[in-house]
A and B are shown apart, each in its own frame.
Chain A
Amino acid sequence: MSPRGYLGDLEEIVLLALARCEPEAYGMRIRQEIEDQSGRSVAIGAVYAVLERLEDKRYIRRADPPEGTNRDPRARRFFAMTPAGKTAVEETAALRDRLWSGLRLRRTGKTS
């Protein structure tokens, strides 16, 4: 049920990386997570731009900093996934599964 349509490639990646980082999800940390998982270098600006888009679409929201971190408003911003965001990644994943089902290609890197 996503009225805004499916997620873009980078949007999906950022959203999933963000979910993996919570509750410590902030720009640089997310960037690092993507780099760790994909082995691809991502610029911090790109992550920020996508986070901004996701926030506009209400897939993520600003979150309070975890206990014991700097509360200066100019310091790093923390994010959390919203239920709508969760639905969006799930739907994207479901779409993938539907598209894959019954398809006979060699899926590299995934052993079943």
Chain B
Amino acid sequence: MTRLPRFVLRCLLPRDVRDAMLAELDAEYASVVRPSCGTLRAAAWYWTQVFGSIAPALAMRQRRHGRWLADAAQDTRFAVRLLARQKTFSGAVIATLALGIGATTAMFSLVDAVVLRALPYREPDRLIRIWSHNPRGIVRNQISPADYFDWRDRVRGIDGLAAFGAADVTLTSAGDPVRLNGATATANLAGTLGVSPLAGRWFVDADTRGGEPVVVISERLWRERFGSDPRIIGRTVVIDSLQREVIGVMAEAFRFPSADQQIWMPLPDRWRMVQPRSARFLGVVGRLEAGITFADARDRMLAVARQLASAYPDSDRGWSVTVAPLSDAIRGDVRAPLLLLLGAVAAMLLVACANVAGLLMARGVSRARELAIRAAVGAGAGRLVRMQLVEALMLSLLGGLAGLALASWGVRIAPGIRGLNLPLLDRVARDRRLVMAAFAVSLVSALLTGMWPALKAARHRGLEMLGAGMRATGGHARARQAIVFAQIAIATALVAAGSLLSGSLYRLMAVSPGFHADRTLLADVSLPPAKYGPDARAPMFAGLLDRLRALPGVEAAAAGAPLPLSGQDGLLRFAFRIAGREPSADAPRAYLRWATPDYFRAMGIPLHAGRVFAPSDTARSAPVVVIDAELARRYFAGENPIGRRISTTIGRDTLREVVGVVGAVRQMALEREAEPHLYVPETQVPSPEMTLVIRTGGDAMTLLPDVRAIMRDLDPDLPLSNVRPLADLVSSSAAPRRAGTLLLTAFAAMAVLLTLVGVYGAVSQVVAQSTREIGVRIAMGGTRSIVMRLIVGRAVKVALAGAVAGLVLAWAGAPALSAMLYGVRPRDPLTLAGAAVAITAAAALAAYLPARRILRLDVLATLRVE
């Protein structure tokens, strides 16, 4: 309760008395006041002490800094009075700045947490991630246990080479059965990363050597499923029908290998022996030993990979390794888009500051008389400059305060935005860093907004301005034009970038994924191997699907795995051989999918030729396979694939007859072209993990309670996980792009709006200040429309110049954008030209509106005033 007041006082007190005084205050509070009168009254006492000390603290400061501060305090009071008097003006300025500062601060905190700040591990700079590099150019392939253990034995200079693999599991002993994001990990993983458990311990060698089954759980799981049980260590839980003892709890901040890691199990040493060397499914991290550079480590790893390639040519020939700093591995992909967004938001802040600078200058002109009088009665140029700066500072700080509220809101909702599920995003917090960022951004904007008016004030020449009165000076008009020019340039570049990204998104959403995503429900089912052996799986799924099909409204019920766009791909790419062809070095490869007979109908994948699986395809009937159109195109060009035989390494290398060809499906991502796929019947190659695909006549989600009831009835220990509509897969695939596009477009829109306000303000000012000139022109016989054309024309000329400059910016920045585009060239002339024309047209309109006032001007009255 005393932390906040203490912090405030600490900031206000002069350095030399700060520690002594706070120490006395705290000592009195802790040893005398709190023991004698209770926490609440003691806190009240503390607050009173702090409040009473604020004014003396400022007085003490003032004694040290002398006159300068006293003057500044006076300027501040003056500025506050001025701002309070001009409520509309101040309100507009503060709102503008709040928008710019808030968005910039929020974006900066995001970038800070995700990209800039060190990883939450000990000496994170020395951590590296290692992949295998496959002969076909997949640079970041996973690693087989045998290769990993050999690396660990052979490589020198890399400390604690640790491995981990994804291992989703079902927890049945704590409430409803639940599917959890799990991982297997070696005993040295925690040590390598330099983290220790919140409670209990991490694995030791005995655990991986095959001791008692144990498990480490996350703090969240401990809280949500075990009610933060203080005696969790030593408790037995049932995971995939197997009893395991909880030996440790990892703190919330430990999110490795994935952001939503709930459970870790020991990676058994025996995998080195029992898993084939070609089964690559592990990730590897290591720590550089002291004195070893990153390049050394890479060279040594490459050498080890060469040794293994010659020792195990069957599985490792042509395979190499990729080494990267762990930091790059985790956030390399998001760095560029995030920095682009930060740049966009900073550009928007610039536009906002330009607006405010323009407003301050406009007011500076109308205050010229006041400033002149001040100068005349002895205010030095320095004082006048400072007055302007203090005013800008006050506005920026108030804007910053409002912006901080905005940023704090933005940071709170950010993790919930779909597509913003960035790594390390959990570190974005409403903490002191956010406040400091808002403060720093406010200071920058104060400088940006106050600089120009202050420089003008510096050039004040005392009395001569008194005579000059309200007339705008040429220099002033030029400065305003420069501001508008810059605003339009920035806005044009942002709009161009925004249109390119929106165009990409539009084109991507028009891409057909190869299936029909509507009215279909998905749910993952995972049969624990301990309870369901290979022979028990097919009957289980058959029974389940029969009951689902009987539900009213269900048009098709099927199961398949892995589903397209589900992110569960990657591992299942197999080489196959086509019977009757010579085996070649460049064997054909395809991704493997499991499917039940109705899968293609439920997914809406069209059948091109032959047939799909039938209930007659059983474990005892002839092995069959369905291929997709992409595989047929690539490997059976000009031939009829139906009836041909394919052998895969799956299912004991049996020859499978191709019975059908179905439509190609985009499996990896909407923007990635379809790859060849092989479908095998689930009855012949049993899979423990399948996704139910239930196509309905109406709203698929309404079926969910019935589906759950059937599941519970069949086996109460089986959880349904990842329940979602099929359409979700498509939209999630585009979600990151959509989030980024939306943000950038919003920044661009705000920049445009601010720019138009700026144009409007600048033209209004010109009109207001050149009434005399206009009056004279009209009195001399010029028509109003000519004068108006003159004014609007001048604005359009500036706008055009700005738009051209903006195009140059967009042109130059195009390479940064190209990685984020789909189906649009980064320098697409139509898009760029469109942005420039739109901005210029809008600027012309923004100039026309205030200029129209000229038409209503009473010329003679204006002249009489002078």
Interfacial residues, chain A to chain B (CB-CB below 8 A): 26-28, 32, 41-46, 48-49, 52, 74-77
Contacts and interface: CB of A to CB of B under 8 A. Distances in A.
Given A43-B52, A45-B55, 14 more contacts: A27-B21, A27-B24, A28-B25, A28-B27, A28-B28, A41-B48, A43-B56, A45-B9, A45-B13, A45-B21, A46-B53, A48-B60, A49-B60, A76-B20
Interface string B12-29: 010001011101110110
B388 to A, nearest CB: 32
A45 B56 contact: yes
B59 interface: yes
Question: Looking at B13, B25, B55, B63, which has the most chain A CB atoms within 10 Å of its CB?
Answer: B25
B57 A75 contact: no
B54 A26 contact: no
Given A52-B17, A52-B60, A45 B23 contact: no
A32 B9 CA distance: 20
A44 B21 CA distance: 8
Question: Looking at A41, A49, A76, which has the most chain B CB atoms within 10 Å of its CB?
Answer: A49
Nearest to A49: B56
A76 B23 contact: yes
Contacts of A43: 48-53, 56
A45 B20 contact: no
Contacts of B55: 45-46
B294 to A, nearest CB: 44
Contacts of B25: 28, 44
Contacts of B13: 45
B16 to A, nearest CB: 10
Contact of B52 (A26, A45, A76): A45
B52 A42 contact: yes
Chain B residues touching A, majority SS: helix
Contact of B21 (A32, A41, A42, A48): A48
- 6 closest pairs, A vs B, by CB? A45-B53, A43-B52, A49-B56, A45-B56, A28-B24, A74-B19
Nearest to A50: B56
A45 B24 CA distance: 11
Contacts of B57: 45, 49
Contacts of A28: 24-25, 27-28
B156 to A, nearest CB: 50
Contacts of B27: 28, 76
Contacts of A44: 21, 24-25, 28, 49, 52-53
28 contacts: A27-B24, A28-B24, A42-B52, A43-B48, A43-B49, A43-B50, A43-B51, A43-B56, A44-B21, A44-B25, A44-B49, A45-B21, A45-B49, A45-B50, A45-B55, A45-B60, A46-B55, A48-B17, A48-B21, A48-B56, A48-B60, A49-B59, A52-B17, A52-B60, A74-B19, A75-B20, A75-B23, A76-B20
Nearest to B52: A43
Contacts of B56: 43, 45-46, 48-49
A53 to B, nearest CB: 8
Contacts of B17: 48, 52
Contacts of A48: 17, 21, 53, 56, 60
Contacts of B50: 43, 45
Contacts of A75: 20, 23
A42 B45 CA distance: 11
Nearest to B14: A52
Given A45-B52, A45-B54, A46-B53, A26 B60 contact: no
Contacts, number: 64
Nearest to B12: A45
Interface string B32-49: 000000000000000011
A104 to B, nearest CB: 38
Nearest to A74: B19
Interface string B440-479: 0000000000000000000000000000000000000000
Nearest to A76: B24
A52 B25 CA distance: 17
Contacts of A77: 20
A6 to B, nearest CB: 20
B758 to A, nearest CB: 46
Contacts of A52: 17, 60, 63
A32 B36 CA distance: 15
Contacts of A42: 52
A27 B21 CA distance: 8
A30 B28 CA distance: 12
Given A48-B17, A49-B56, A49-B59, A74 B23 contact: yes
Interface in B790-832: none
Nearest to B20: A77
Interface in B46-76: 48-57, 59-60, 63
Nearest to B21: A48
A43 B12 CA distance: 15
Nearest to A46: B56
A38 B399 CA distance: 45
Contacts of B24: 26-28, 44, 76
Nearest to B59: A49
Contacts of B9: 45
A26 B54 CA distance: 20
Contacts of A45: 9, 13, 21, 49-50, 52-57, 60
A46 B24 CA distance: 14
Interface in B830-865: none
B21 to A, nearest CB: 5
A46 B20 contact: no
B50 to A, nearest CB: 8
B23 A46 contact: no
B358 to A, nearest CB: 43
Interface string B544-573: 000000000000000000000000000000
Contacts of B59: 49
A76 B31 CA distance: 15
B43 to A, nearest CB: 15
A48 B57 CA distance: 9
A72 to B, nearest CB: 9
A45 B22 CA distance: 10
Nearest to A26: B24
Nearest to A51: B17
A27 B56 CA distance: 14
A27 B27 CA distance: 12
Contacts of A46: 52-53, 55-56
